[in-house]
Amino acid sequence: MGSFWDFCAPFYDMAERRNKKAYNAMLQAVRETVMPGASVLEIAAGTGGISLAVADKAEHILCTDISDKMLAVARKKAKKQEALNIEFGNINIFETGCKDDAFDIVIAAQVLHLLDNPEKAAAELRRIGKSLLIMPISLTRDLKGQAKLMVNIFKLFGFSPKKEFDEAGYIDFLNEIGFKDIEMIQANGKIPIAVAIWRKPQE
């Protein structure tokens, strides 16, 4: 999978701009959810768009991805934005090496549907997230026209999701892997993006 994302890194942002309306609405929804002064971990960050969008609200962000080339693009963007509170690195989503409740907020966008064992990843994210998990995902099930073509082009180059969802299907999937009482915000556009928010029960 890493090689596919390495391949995508130079034009990943261009692809996001093709779905600009939904992407920007997703960023705004995430930004409004992040508490001022929070510590944030972003898993599968790609070129860092979400981390950069919340950098001025968060105290510290660890922006991670399996692709070094994606992270290289993210570092350049962070330098240009002068986002000095973002640290970059590689983390295994199944075994992060982080302590329990290590981050106030964990963001895992566009990743759980790519995994053979999403239940294991979800358990690890719940363990290290102290307050919130934010899990945006593109709703690619039953797309038509140009939107379907965009997704199919990615598939030709190696994009291989294990599951594809509409909003109801995504909620069912999250319930199945241990996330109950999900708040859902839908960002509309050519390819809608569902922003799932899970609040960790406090003892």
pLDDT at 14: 86
HSE-up (13 A, CA, CB side) for residue 47: 16
CATH number of the structural domain spanning residue 105: 3.40.50.150
Enclosing domain of residue 131: 2-199
Tell me the pLDDT tens digit for each residue of 1-29. Answer: 458 889 889 988 988 888 999 999 999 99
pLDDT at 194 over 60: yes
**Of the candidates 139, 112, 140, 134, the residue with the CA atom closest to the CA atom of residue 193:** 139
DSSP one-letter code for 133: E
Tell me the pLDDT tens digit for each residue of 83-112. Answer: 999 999 999 999 999 999 999 999 999 999
Tell me the pLDDT tens digit for each residue of 130-176. Answer: 999 999 999 999 899 988 988 888 888 788 899 999 999 999 999 99
With beta carbons less than 8 A apart as the criterion, state whether 10 and 67 touch: no
- Number of separate domains in the chain: 1
Q: Which residues fall within 8 angstroms of residue 5, CB to CB, at 6 or more apart? A: 46, 65, 66, 67, 69, 70
When the pLDDT of each residue in the chain is averaged and rounded to a whole number, the result is 94
